[in-house]
C-alpha cells in the first residue's frame, strides 16, 4: 500500500541549486517546507545505480537517514536517440567534476556530429525523471516521468538549468530555457513524475 506523506517538512536530496529551486516550487502548493541536502551539510552519496530509479532511491535514502526526515530525490537526465540513450544516467557527469553544463552541451554537440546527426529528424531525445520519496525507516515510493522532444544547437535561453537550453519539447518551438518556468512546470519530465507522486502520496493536501 502506498504510504502517504503526512508531515510538513522534507529534505530535497540534491546539491543542485536549480533542481532544488524547481522541486521547492512544485511543492509550494502543498504546505511543505523544503530544505536542501546541501544546506544541511549532507554528503552526496555515490550514484552507483544504472537506472534513474536506482539512483533516485540511493540519494533519497541517504538524505532521509542523514537528516532523520522524509527526503525527496530526483534523478533525471537527457537520453538522445542517436547516441543510444546517452548521456542518460551520466548526464551530469558529462560536465566533468564541476558539472559544467556548458561543457556538457558542447560535448553532446560533438557526439551528435560524430554520429552524423545533423538534421532535426535525427536529433530526437527525451528527458526522463525518477522521483523517490524516502522515509528514515527505509520505506520508499518512486515515480517516473518522461517528455519527448529534440536537440537544438547552439543552446538558447537563460532560464532552467542543465541541458534545458538544448531541448525543445514535442509540439513546441522554444527550448526549456526560453519558456516561462510555470510553463515548464506544467509539461516537464519532472512535473509528470511529480504528478504521480502528488496523486499517490499527497492526496488532499493542495491548498
74 counts as catalytic: no
Determine the Cα–Cα distance for residues 85 and 140; give it in Å rounded to an integer: 27
Three-class SS state of 15: coil
In whole angstroms, how large is the CA radius of gyration of the chain?
Answer: 17
pTM for the predicted model, two decimal places: 0.89
Q: Which three cell numbers stand for residue 32?
A: 511543505
- Residue 63 banded pLDDT, cuts 50, 70, 90: very high
3-state class of 190 per DSSP?
helix
Name the active-site residue from 75, 119, 137, 180: 75
Inter-residue contact 166 to 105 (CB < 8 Å): yes
- Mean pLDDT (the chain) is 93
Helices 17-27 and 189-201 pack at an angle, to 10 degrees, of 40
Domains recognised in the chain with CATH numbers:
9-201 (3.90.950.10)
Residue 98: other Cβ atoms inside 10 A: 7
What pLDDT is recorded for position 43? 92
Amino acid at each position: 500500500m502506498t504510504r502517504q506523506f503526512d508531515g510538513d517538512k522534507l529534505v530535497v536530496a540534491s546539491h543542485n541549486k536549480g533542481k532544488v529551486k524547481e522541486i521547492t516550487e512544485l511543492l509550494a502548493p502543498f504546505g511543505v517546507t523544503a530544505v536542501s541536502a546541501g544546506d544541511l551539510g549532507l554528503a552526496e552519496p555515490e550514484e552507483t545505480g544504472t537506472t534513474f530509479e536506482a539512483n533516485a532511491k540511493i540519494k533519497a535514502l541517504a538524505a532521509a537517514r542523514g537528516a532523520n526526515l522524509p527526503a525527496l530525490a530526483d534523478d533525471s537526465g537527457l537520453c538522445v536517440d542517436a547516441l543510444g540513450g546517452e548521456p542518460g544516467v551520466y548526464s551530469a557527469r558529462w560536465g566533468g567534476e564541476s558539472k559544467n553544463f556548458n561543457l556538457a552541451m558542447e560535448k553532446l554537440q560533438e557526439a551528435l556530429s560524430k554520429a552524423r546527426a545533423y538534421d532535426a529528424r535525427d536529433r530526437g531525445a527525451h528527458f526522463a525523471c525518477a522521483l523517490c520519496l524516502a522515509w528514515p525507516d527505509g520505506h520508499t515510493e518512486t515515480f517516473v516521468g518522461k517528455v519527448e522532444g529534440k536537440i537544438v544547437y547552439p543552446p538558447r535561453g537563460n532560464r532552467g538549468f542543465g541541458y534545458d537550453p538544448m531541448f525543445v519539447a514535442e509540439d513546441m518551438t522554444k527550448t526549456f530555457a526560453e519558456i516561462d518556468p510555470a510553463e515548464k512546470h506544467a509539461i516537464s519530465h519532472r512535473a509528470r513524475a511529480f504528478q504521480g507522486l502528488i496523486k499517490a502520496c499527497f492526496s488532499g493536501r493542495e491548498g
